Amino acid sequence: MFEYMTGAVTFISPYYIVLDVNNIGYQIAVANPFRYSSKLNQEIKIYMHQVIRDDAHTLYGFSSLEEKQLFLKVISVSGIGPKSGLAIMALDDHVGLVNAIESQDATYLTKFPGVGKKTAQQLILDLQGKLDDVAIDLVKTPVAGSQEKLFATSTSPYLDESLEALKALGYSERDIKRIKGELESHHDKTTDEYLRIGLKLLMKK
C-alpha cells in the first residue's frame, strides 16, 4: 500500500494527473486535477490511497494527509464509493462539509453528485461526532493549487476544460448547462478557477 509519492506532474486531464516517479508515470485520480496546473513539471508530494478491484487498480491522490483522512472517512460510509468521494472532496470547503454533517444538514449533502437523501442521512449517521480531529487539521491546511492567473489569452478553452472536469466528477449535463451561462460571465480565469466557481454554483442549487 502506498502512503505517498514524490514526483513531477507531467500531464493533467479532467479525470486524472500523471506523476513521474523515477521515470515511471503513475496515473492518479484526484478531486480537481487542475489544482495542479501551476505545478506542471514541478516536483510535488501526493498522498495516496489504492483501490484494487478485479477489473482495475486505481490510485487516488490528495494534496495533504488531512485531505486523505477525510476522504477515507467519507468512503467508509455505505453507498459512497471512491468516485463519489472524489466529487465530495473537489469542493474546497471541507470544513463546510464537516459542519453540514455535524449540523445534520442533509439538504446540503444531497447537492453532491451520487448522494441522495438516504446516503446523506447515512453520512450523518456514520460520521457525526467523528470528524472533530479532521476538521481542526483542515482549518490549518491550505488546499493545493494557486489562484495565480497562468493564462492571459482567450479563456474559452479553460472554461471547456472545467466543464469536462465537472462531468468527470459525476455532475449531470443538465446541472452543468444550468451554470454554464454564469461561468461564461467570468473572464480571465484559469481552468482551476472556473472549476472552483462552478462547484460553488452547483452547491447553491
How many domains, in total, are found in the chain?
3
Q: Is the pLDDT of residue 142 over 60?
A: no
Domain check: are 71 and 112 in the same one? yes
Domain check: are 85 and 119 in the same one? yes
The answer as to whether 177 is a domain residue is yes
Q: What's 77's domain CATH number?
A: 1.10.150.20
Distance (Å, whole) CA 17 – CA 202: 24
Pick from 143, 204, 202, 146: nearest CA to 170? 202
State the pTM of this model: 0.77
Per-residue pLDDT tens digits for 92-105: 778 888 889 999 99
The answer as to whether 132 is a domain residue is yes
Domain check: are 70 and 52 in the same one? no
Domain check: are 79 and 127 in the same one? yes
Distance (Å, whole) CA 185 – CA 181: 7
Domain check: are 78 and 107 in the same one? yes
Per-residue pLDDT tens digits for 83-131: 999 999 888 778 888 889 999 999 999 999 989 999 999 999 999 998 8
Distance (Å, whole) CA 13 – CA 16: 5
Q: What does the pLDDT read at residue 147?
A: 37
At what angle are helices 173-184 and 156-168 packed, to 10 degrees? 150
Q: What does the pLDDT read at residue 148?
A: 38
Domain check: are 135 and 169 in the same one? no
Domain check: are 75 and 136 in the same one? yes
Boundaries of domain holding 127 = 65-140
Q: Is the pLDDT of residue 205 over 70?
A: no
